[in-house]
Amino acid sequence: MKLVLLDRDGVINVDRSKSVRSREEFMFLPGVIPAIKLLNEASIPIAIVTNQAVVGRGELSVEELEDIHTYLKELLAIQGAFVDKIYVCTSTDSTHTHRKPNPGLLLEALDYFKVKPQEAVLIGDALRDLQAASAIQCPRILVRTGKGQITLKDGLPNSVLPVLIFNDLYEAVSHLLDEEIC
Ligand SMILES: [Mg+2]
């Protein structure tokens, strides 16, 4: 495994129905910082790939979004952890190449790190995360945090299978580092 692609809301931080709009609304989910540290220690790069249509709708500015990401990085740094890159799609247009379930954001990250889709893994909580990964034959994991339980209850279409399922990011990362699934 040469790259971990992480969805943000519901995987890294607590998802909010109206999106995270300030530092105060950004809260790491339990076990996320230790999970990121495990990847850092294993020298596996991490790229966040996140849809933020809240920006495209004009409800959050690019500067405000960047400030939230600065805060995310600051909180990680305090614990000696880091993410390598953050890729954002602000479009509200479902046909936009970079808006998941389309794979553009993932492809951009793979290209930057010079990693093949089959050598990476995507971890997400929503069907569109899994669809973006399966579109490019990238291995994928669903976590039960965020929308994960609802995603499971709705049923995973055959088109996105196989999908590994874990309770949260820490469990998923522990498994990846134990098993070297890809
Ligand atoms: Mg999500």
How confident is the model over 152-165, as pLDDT tens digits? 999 999 999 999 99
Catalytic one among 7, 15, 125, 168?
7
pLDDT for 180: 55
Q: What distance in Å separates the CA atoms of residue 63 and residue 165, rounded to the nearest whole number?
A: 35
Task: Say yes or no to pLDDT of 104 above 50.
Answer: yes
pLDDT for 179: 74
Q: What pLDDT digit, counting tens, does each position of 61-88 carry?
A: 999 999 999 999 999 999 999 999 999 9
Q: Rounded to the nearest whole angstrom, what is the distance from the C-alpha of residue 47 to the centroid of ligand 1?
A: 14
Task: Say yes or no to pLDDT of 7 above 90.
Answer: yes
Task: Say yes or no to pLDDT of 114 above 50.
Answer: yes
Q: What distance in Å separates the CA atoms of residue 30 and residue 169, rounded to the nearest whole number?
A: 9
pLDDT for 29: 98
- Summary count for the chain: helices (H), strands (E): 7, 6
Q: What distance in Å separates the CA atoms of residue 166 and residue 168, rounded to the nearest whole number?
A: 6
C-alpha closest to that of 69 among 10, 18, 12: 12
Task: Say yes or no to pLDDT of 182 above 50.
Answer: no
Residue type, 62: V
Catalytic one among 9, 125, 129, 168?
9
pLDDT for 84: 98
C-alpha closest to that of 29 among 59, 47, 3, 6: 6
Q: Is 7 assigned a catalytic role?
A: yes
Q: Is 9 assigned a catalytic role?
A: yes
- Within 8 A by CB and 6+ apart from 58, the residues are none
Q: Rounded to the nearest whole angstrom, what is the distance from the C-alpha of residue 30 to the centroid of ligand 1?
A: 15
Q: Rounded to the nearest whole angstrom, what is the distance from the C-alpha of residue 141 to the centroid of ligand 1?
A: 12
DSSP category for residue 111: H
Q: What pLDDT digit, counting tens, does each position of 22-48 carry?
A: 999 999 999 999 999 999 999 999 999
CATH topology assigned to domain 3-179: Rossmann fold (3.40.50)
Task: Say yes or no to pLDDT of 181 above 60.
Answer: no
Counting other chains too, the contacts that 135-140 makes at CB distance below 8 Å and 24 or more residues apart are 135/101, 135/102, 135/103, 136/103, 136/106, 136/107, 136/110, 138/5, 138/103, 138/106, 138/110, 139/164, 139/181, 139/182, 140/164
Q: What pLDDT digit, counting tens, does each position of 160-180 carry?
A: 999 999 999 999 999 999 975
Q: Rounded to the nearest whole angstrom, what is the distance from the C-alpha of residue 148 to the centroid of ligand 1?
A: 8
Q: Rounded to the nearest whole angstrom, what is the distance from the C-alpha of residue 143 to the centroid of ligand 1?
A: 10
Q: What distance in Å separates the CA atoms of residue 48 and residue 7, rounded to the nearest whole number?
A: 6
Residue 110 and residue 117 in contact, taking contact as beta carbons nearer than 8 Å: yes
